[in-house]
Amino acid sequence: MLFSTISIIIFIGIVLTTLIIRKKQMHLWLGHYLKRKLKKTKHTVGPKHIMFCFVDHYEPMWGKDISYEQECARVERWHLDYPKVASQFKDADGCHPKHSFFYPEEEYRQEHLDKITNLCAAGFGEIEIHLHHDNDTSDNLRKLLLRFTETLHVNHGAFVRNEDTGLLQYTFIHGNWCLDNSRPDGKWCGVNDELIVLKETGCYADLTFPSAPSDTQPAYANEIYYAKDDPDQPKSHNKGKIVEVGGHNWGDMMLITGPLGLNWKHRKKGIFPQIENSDIRGSMPPTKDRIDLWVDTAIHVKNKEDWLFIKIHTHGTQEQDMDTLLGHPFEEMNQYLLEKYNDGDNYVLHYVSAREMFNIIKAAESGKNGNPNAYRDYQIPAPTYKNSSAG
């Protein structure tokens, strides 16, 4: 009788767990996550260098019935408050926290970007490309990206032109997580060869993921990898080739993903772990246990375990989250990073932009060692932002 009761309890537990996994779309990435967790960690000599990158789906027009005045107020708060809070902190290289502003093409206003440009010119971040689109075509997407990168370059000094191709070089985040038409219903993209189009317009890395619990989440979790586009199929980045020391460019796009996993210190109903998906907002502040989890995830170039890459993300213009991103929780996050992960013996902290993170990854792939600070501009040079009179 006792055995029967225990069997029933175990069976119910398995059923409930399976239902939760399916509901949260964990089946899409849990297998790769567990396989990676079971790998034996290689011993490294000397401190581990942590590249810390904060990327922002920066959308001043977010929400319904937003007035122009509200857009301006959102941007103005960042323009005024971010330098105040970020200037309190410096990494091992003397750099302040850097915010990578992925600005949506469809929300472009020069006056908003002028203020963001001023932050970037002062060393507080860099401008990159964000895009929401639906039922699009390859030709239209190509024209749109070429036009927008040129606009940001001419008006604001964003990006650097490749001397060989003439293309402006940028990183990308897809709106609604739908890179390469990856929603099962085909909404919010429509372009099956999007990785190819991105490459052909100057994009050198995608930083969209993780997107869990969305069904757009690819199978690869906690990896830096290359993806090759199948122009006839969606979600080509669901598989790829891991970036490794001694490797080289492969396929059409490098994907740099942020930490994804299970946080057992935050449990729903006291039982089920919360999904850690690198998202920072008012309801999900960057607490110490989350920071520890990001570091423990140990995203790195294969066979280069002493350089770790942490990419977290947010939607910075939403009022309910600004006190977290521009206030005390942001301060506490940086204080903890500098206290625990910048002691010089065990860890060295480097605040990096999306561009700098890519450059350091490519340096690791090429077999470079030592201080990664030397490789912030390894392949893609820093842009020269145009100071504006925006005040």
Instruction: Note down pLDDT in tens along the chain; length 391 residues.
Output: 444 556 544 444 443 455 455 557 888 888 898 899 888 777 788 899 999 999 999 999 999 999 999 999 999 999 999 999 999 999 999 999 999 999 999 999 999 999 999 999 999 999 999 999 999 999 999 999 999 999 999 999 999 999 999 999 999 999 999 999 999 999 999 999 999 999 999 999 999 999 999 999 999 999 999 999 999 999 999 999 999 999 999 999 999 999 999 988 877 666 678 899 999 999 999 999 999 999 999 999 999 999 999 999 999 999 999 999 999 999 999 999 999 999 999 999 999 999 999 999 999 999 999 999 999 999 999 999 988 766 5
| Position 51, amino acid | M
Angle of helix 110-121 relative to helix 138-156, nearest 10 degrees, comes to 60
Domain interval for residue 305: 49-375
Nearest residue to 56 via CA among 276, 282, 316: 316
Q: Is residue 320 part of a domain?
A: yes
**Would you give the distance in Å from CA 273 to the centre of its chain?**
22
Q: What pLDDT score was predicted for residue 85?
A: 98
Q: What pLDDT score was predicted for residue 26?
A: 83
The radius of gyration computed from the CA coordinates of the chain, to the nearest angstrom, equals 21
Q: Is residue 232 part of a domain?
A: yes
Other C-beta atoms lying within 10 Å of the C-beta of residue 355: 28
Q: Is residue 97 part of a domain?
A: yes
Cβ–Cβ < 8 Å for 239, 268: no
Q: Is residue 312 part of a domain?
A: yes
Q: Is residue 368 part of a domain?
A: yes
How many domains, the chain? Answer: 1
- 263: domain CATH number is 3.20.20.370
Q: Is residue 54 part of a domain?
A: yes
Q: Is residue 31 part of a domain?
A: no
Q: Is residue 22 part of a domain?
A: no
- Assessment of whether the complete model's pTM goes beyond 0.85: yes
